[in-house]
A and B are shown apart, each in its own frame.
Chain A
Amino acid sequence: MSALRAEESLLALRQQEELEDLPKEYPLSTSEDEGDSDGERKHQKLLEAISSLDGKNRRKLAERSEASLKVSEFNVSSEGSREKLVLSDLLEPGKTSSSLATVKKQLNRVKSKKTVELPLNKEEVERIHREVAFNKTSQALSKWDPIVLKNRQAEQLVFPLKKEQSAFAPIEHVLSGWKARTPMEQEIFNLLHKNKQPVTDPLLTPVEKASLRAMSLEEAKMRRAELQRARALQSYYEARARREKKIKSKKYHKVLKKGKAKKALKEFEKLQKVSPSAALEELEKIEKARMMERMSLKHQNSGKWAKSKAIMAKYDLEARQALQEQLARNKELTQKLQAASESEEEEEGAEDEDEMLVPDAVNEVRMNADGPNPWMLRNGPGEAEELDIQKDPEQPPEPVAHEASESEGEENPVAEEEMLLKELEERRSLRKKPGLNQDAKPVGRRETKDSSSQEVLSELRALSQKLNKENHRSTKQKVSSARTVLPVQREEAADEEEEPMLLQRPERARTLDELEELGREGCFQDKERPRPAVNGQWLERKPNNQPGAPKEKPKKEQMIDLQNLLSTKSPSVKSLAVPTTVEEWEDEEEKDQRQMIKEAFAGDDVIRDFLKEKREAVEASKPKDVDLTLPGWGEWGGVGLMPSAKKRRRFLIKIPEGPPRKDKNLPNVIINEKRNIHAAAHQVRVLPYPFTHHQQFERTIQTPIGSTWNTQRAFQKLTTPKVVTKPGHIIKPIKAEDVGYRSSSRSDLSVVQRNPKRLSIRHKKQLKKNSVD
């Protein structure tokens, strides 16, 4: 029985094993921990089964239970163990904790928290990653925008962009990595070693190396420039010294000496201020020099040269002056320095002596030279004199005006006064305008300005004089003030003529005066030039006695018939200076020529031919009406039968007139408005892309770029190629460092290596938020 039971229990066990084996078919679902606990349990059961085998017929049914119950987190299930669960055990944790407050708190906290969101699926997370990365990268790339734009628009790009400094490596560096391998090489090396040739030894000494390293290119350049400068300065100095040495002129040396002396004096004065002791020494030196001078006869006019000069002095001014100078020098040298020791009287006496020594003639010359220059005086001292000079020529017109006013009416002197005042006002306002204009111009027209201000002054004076005259009624001035300046023709003119010109006259007088004055000074200013010409015109017109006449003449000239234009010769301007005989001779010549031409082209009438041709061209270019009538269509046709007028009218298509011809208003020109096909083959039909207006394009075509039309420099500038590459130079891709950016790829690798593959959910959320934003 017992054996049977045992068998049964074994069977049951196997069944259970099978049951528990089942999940093993799905290895993905079971975890290793579970497997472990299963094993333990099985082991327990096995033990039980074995123990039940020996006699005790206690049968224990295997129970199927759920794993979640067995694996309890409170560890209260006693399944499989023999220990009994006691109630006190259950109550134990309640006892130990004094209060449940903390638990409650925790519970509350858990309750207050919301449920955690589901994590995003993998695709979405990756997408967010990508988007963020892309945004970052495109931001990083946008720093290249200005550089790319600049390079695209650059007039010229020279590649390679960055010039590479050619570094030279010493031979031993190159050789260091190289070894003799082949038998021949080894043989050669052995030979070399036998002779103790420096194969790997440094060919450069350390000092040389250091020097090579020390001096950079820039330094060397600077040093060279410095040296060059020094050398140049030295050469300048040498050249100057040589030149000065060569100069033999006495005058030069004299000037030099004088300069030196002056300098010495200045220095001495400075020394006096700074250190009196040194000055004293200097003083002693000077004193010594004085003594030496006194001892010698060097400057006493007793030498050979002085004697010879003395003979010449009678006739020669220079010799005289030279003697004079020598004496003066002697005097200077022998003079005692302490001024206090010598009395003023003595000085004066000396001066007198000096003057006595100098002949009178010399002094006279000097006086002349230094005396007030008449030219200088006129400009310099003041306006008083100038005013006087101005005044003299100004006077003549006054009496004339006075005469005129007298003739008009002497009865009401008060009204006349008023009129004169008005006149003055008007003139002043008139004069102010040019004055203002002059102000706008740059300074340098001093003279004219002055003259205008002087005018005002003189006018005021004139007015006052007039008033005086009116009051005194003295006729004496009239007689005395004769017109000296105005030409003779003017005097001949009648008084009535002068009346309308009354207003202009003072101006004219002034210009004449100015002309005279300028003539005296000998200088014309550009601005002044037109005025005499105007004056001249006036003088010329004057004999005509008709102010309107000269205006009519040019009008007549303008109204030359266009038909005669071809046959008439161009009006030759006859200048007054050309003698009449020459003119006549020229006329004869022209007549001859004209005659000859007439004879040569006797038969053909060029103008009429041309006009006819033009008329034909115009006719030909006119659009013609289209006649679409079909004779015989809808009516009888045949010889001598014409379609009806109605029909003709109906089928005649009138073509509107085109735009007016370009040569409509040009009688002597025919402009062909037909397109030239031969030229069109070479012409651009459509405006090319970058240009927006045809004028733009035409302008680019019309500006020549060749050296025939441009200077060398402009030609070079116009023909600079857009891209220049140097042969044999490797062009490397542009670098961030080259254009002044920090390279962003410095830590490419390090980033890759510490790239966090798994991000926390919170981080992901943030990322998503960012991407949504």
Chain B
Amino acid sequence: MKVKMLSRNPDNYVRETKLDLQRVPRNYDPTLHPFEVPREYMRALNATKLERVFAKPFLASLDGHRDGVNCLAKHPKSLATVLSGACDGEVRIWNLTKRKCIRALQAHEGFVRGICTRFCGTSFFTVGDDKTVKQWKMDGPGFGEEEEPLHTILGKTVYTGIDHHWKEAVFATCGQQVDIWDEQRTNPICSMTWGFDSISSVKFNPIETFLLGSCASDRNIVLYDMRQATPLKKVILDMRTNTICWNPMEAFIFTAANEDYNLYTFDMRALDTPVMVHMDHVSAVLDVDYSPTGKEFVSASFDKSIRIFPVDKGRSREVYHTKRMQHVICVKWTSDSKYIMCGSDEMNIRLWKANASEKLGVLTSREKAAKDYNQKLKEKFQHHPHIKRIARHRHLPKSIYSQIQEQRIMREARRRKEVNRLKHSKPGSVPIVSEKKKHIVAVVK
């Protein structure tokens, strides 16, 4: 008769090295761990509450400008460096880690309308109300040198915006027309125009770098092809678009910040219907910038708040505001996609966390695992009413809050009227226009 002995495989309990953690055998029998769903639900609820508790997004305020901050630019090579231009013609360069201004220069007389850095990070360009385009060195002047621009181009008209090509020594300015300049020349190598109104902003496509988008004050957004030196298409919206921003991960997607409180994400191949209409602001949207991951974007508004929208959602996931922050004119998402900077009327640049409750600094592996688990739990139970309510709750300043209420009433009234009109007219005589199509006036070929 064979006697059966207890035998264990040493692989199951012997560590490979002394430094390994002791293996703790675990019984995953579901009968031993009952109530999975209620337990996870409670965990999700706690995670959501903790997220709200730890949501402290404001990091720092950079003060030093003597007038409203009109434009911001990121350094392409250094995460810690950021440039800002003010309404008094001053440009400042900031170090974000020290939270200090490292250089200030009087670039223009009047507003600094636009600022952009060269792709290599050695110099930057500014345009101002004094009809000039100036190129500056990124490093400060050496000992005994004077602060002087590398090049100055005198133009005939005021330039309202500037953007640099992502790969070549070419930049584009806008004003009465879109000009494309070679850095070495004083005349534009090509200028494109379509219509007569002044163009407020021009942006190069970061992926397909020959593409440009611009928006003008006659309510239109125009796309250009630099290679063929022609405009491509024009879309006219209900109201003026203040600026656009291209998605850095999806070549044909861009988002337009509009005066009608909304943002519109377009696929540039099909301009007649925006991919998504993002609403939540209660005043004109002045600036927009994509996260470098291309999954979200941040918008700055005249309603003294900034909001973060997921690209595929119509509503914002986050709103940032402080008591002292006035109309936000410009906003940028840093290149490591962790922080957001915004420049506002009251001369400050503010630094925010992109993820309000994120813990900064190095995380241990257990912390990381817990964070991931909590995130997944929140996602899993996000539709449950209690959790949804807590996750969506934000404190808003009274002005914005009352504005939202008011606009809700207005929207409801409009909707009701529409429904009534539809109900009391001959079927088919009143067309049903979707929210997406409602704001597009025309697409001009």
Interface on A for B, CB 8 Å cutoff? 126-127, 129-131, 133-134, 136-138, 140-142, 144, 148, 151, 157, 159, 181-182, 681-685, 688, 700-702, 704-711, 715-716, 718-721, 723, 725-736, 744-745, 747-749, 751-753, 755
Q: Which residues of A contact B250 (CB under 8 A)?
A: 144, 148, 151
Q: Is the beta-carbon distance between B33 and A708 smaller than 8 angstroms?
A: yes
Q: Which residues of B contact A141 (CB under 8 A)?
A: 208, 251-252, 268-269
Q: A721-B376, A728-B336 are in contact. List 8 more A-B contacts (CB 8 A).
A: A134-B233, A682-B41, A683-B385, A730-B335, A733-B207, A735-B207, A748-B168, A755-B190
Nearest chain-A residue to B386 (Cβ)?
A682
Q: Is the beta-carbon distance between B292 and A731 smaller than 8 angstroms?
A: yes
Distance in angstroms between the alpha carbons of A521 and B221 in the assembled complex: 93
Nearest chain-B residue to A161 (Cβ)?
B249
Q: Is the beta-carbon distance between A684 and B384 smaller than 8 angstroms?
A: yes
Whether a CB of chain A sits under 8 angstroms from the CB of B380 is yes
Distance in angstroms between the alpha carbons of A672 and B88 in the assembled complex: 74
Q: Is the beta-carbon distance between B230 and A129 smaller than 8 angstroms?
A: yes
Whether a CB of chain A sits under 8 angstroms from the CB of B428 is no
| CB of B212, distance to nearest CB on chain A (Å) | 11
Q: Is the beta-carbon distance between A130 and B233 smaller than 8 angstroms?
A: yes
Q: Is the beta-carbon distance between B252 and A130 smaller than 8 angstroms?
A: no
Q: Which residues of A contact B295 (CB under 8 A)?
A: 723
Q: Which residues of A contact B335 (CB under 8 A)?
A: 730-732
Q: Which residues of A contact B182 (CB under 8 A)?
A: 749
Distance in angstroms between the alpha carbons of A302 and B375 in the assembled complex: 88
Distance in angstroms between the alpha carbons of A742 and B253 in the assembled complex: 20
Q: Which residues of B contact A685 (CB under 8 A)?
A: 385
Q: Which residues of A contact B209 (CB under 8 A)?
A: 745, 748
Q: Which residues of A contact B229 (CB under 8 A)?
A: 752, 755
Distance in angstroms between the alpha carbons of A711 and B377 in the assembled complex: 17
Interface residues in B152-197 by Cβ distance below 8 A to A read 165-168, 170, 180, 182, 189-190
Q: Which residues of A contact B207 (CB under 8 A)?
A: 144, 733-736
> Can you spell out 6 A-B residue pairs with CB atoms less than 8 angstroms apart?
A131-B445, A134-B232, A136-B228, A708-B39, A731-B248, A734-B294
Q: Which residues of B contact A159 (CB under 8 A)?
A: 292-293, 337
Distance in angstroms between the alpha carbons of A21 and B320 in the assembled complex: 74
Q: Is the beta-carbon distance between A181 and B167 smaller than 8 angstroms?
A: no
Q: Is the beta-carbon distance between B338 and A752 smaller than 8 angstroms?
A: no
Distance in angstroms between the alpha carbons of A483 and B262 in the assembled complex: 102
Whether a CB of chain A sits under 8 angstroms from the CB of B210 is yes
Say whether, besides A684-B385, A709-B36, A733 and B292 are in contact (CB < 8 Å): yes
Q: Which interface class (under 10, 10 to 19, 20 to 34, 35 or more) fits B?
A: 35 or more
| CB of B111, distance to nearest CB on chain A (Å) | 29
Interface residues in B212-231 by Cβ distance below 8 A to A read 223, 225-231
Q: Is the beta-carbon distance between A748 and B386 smaller than 8 angstroms?
A: no
Q: Is the beta-carbon distance between A729 and B336 smaller than 8 angstroms?
A: yes
Q: Is the beta-carbon distance between B228 and A755 smaller than 8 angstroms?
A: yes
Distance in angstroms between the alpha carbons of A721 and B372 in the assembled complex: 6
Say whether, besides A729-B336, A751-B227, A704 and B40 are in contact (CB < 8 Å): yes
Distance in angstroms between the alpha carbons of A720 and B368 in the assembled complex: 10
Q: Is the beta-carbon distance between B373 and A701 smaller than 8 angstroms?
A: no
Nearest chain-A residue to B229 (Cβ)?
A755
| CB of A724, distance to nearest CB on chain B (Å) | 10
Q: Is the beta-carbon distance between B268 and A138 smaller than 8 angstroms?
A: yes
Q: Is the beta-carbon distance between A130 and B337 smaller than 8 angstroms?
A: no
Q: Which residues of B contact A682 (CB under 8 A)?
A: 41, 384-386
Nearest chain-A residue to B26 (Cβ)?
A711
Q: Is the beta-carbon distance between B168 and A725 smaller than 8 angstroms?
A: no
Q: Which residues of A contact B53 (CB under 8 A)?
A: none
Nearest chain-A residue to B312 (Cβ)?
A152
Distance in angstroms between the alpha carbons of A700 and B33 in the assembled complex: 18
Interface residues in B250-273 by Cβ distance below 8 A to A read 250-253, 268-269
Q: Which residues of B contact A705 (CB under 8 A)?
A: 40, 373, 376-377, 380
Q: Is the beta-carbon distance between A752 and B227 smaller than 8 angstroms?
A: yes
Q: Which residues of A contact B40 (CB under 8 A)?
A: 704-706
Q: Is the beta-carbon distance between A137 and B249 smaller than 8 angstroms?
A: no
Nearest chain-B residue to A160 (Cβ)?
B292
Nearest chain-A residue to B45 (Cβ)?
A682
Whether a CB of chain A sits under 8 angstroms from the CB of B10 is no
Q: Is the beta-carbon distance between A745 and B210 smaller than 8 angstroms?
A: yes
| CB of A706, distance to nearest CB on chain B (Å) | 6
| CB of B314, distance to nearest CB on chain A (Å) | 12
Q: Is the beta-carbon distance between A734 and B269 smaller than 8 angstroms?
A: no
Distance in angstroms between the alpha carbons of A140 and B336 in the assembled complex: 29
Distance in angstroms between the alpha carbons of A609 and B269 in the assembled complex: 75
| CB of A53, distance to nearest CB on chain B (Å) | 56
Q: Is the beta-carbon distance between A748 and B230 smaller than 8 angstroms?
A: no
Q: Which residues of B contact A683 (CB under 8 A)?
A: 384-385
Q: Is the beta-carbon distance between B336 and A727 smaller than 8 angstroms?
A: yes
Q: Is the beta-carbon distance between B385 and A681 smaller than 8 angstroms?
A: yes
Q: Which residues of B contact A710 (CB under 8 A)?
A: 28
Nearest chain-A residue to B169 (Cβ)?
A749
Q: Which residues of B contact A752 (CB under 8 A)?
A: 180, 189-190, 226-227, 229
| CB of A390, distance to nearest CB on chain B (Å) | 30
Q: Is the beta-carbon distance between A133 and B230 smaller than 8 angstroms?
A: yes
Q: Which residues of A contact B337 (CB under 8 A)?
A: 159, 725, 731
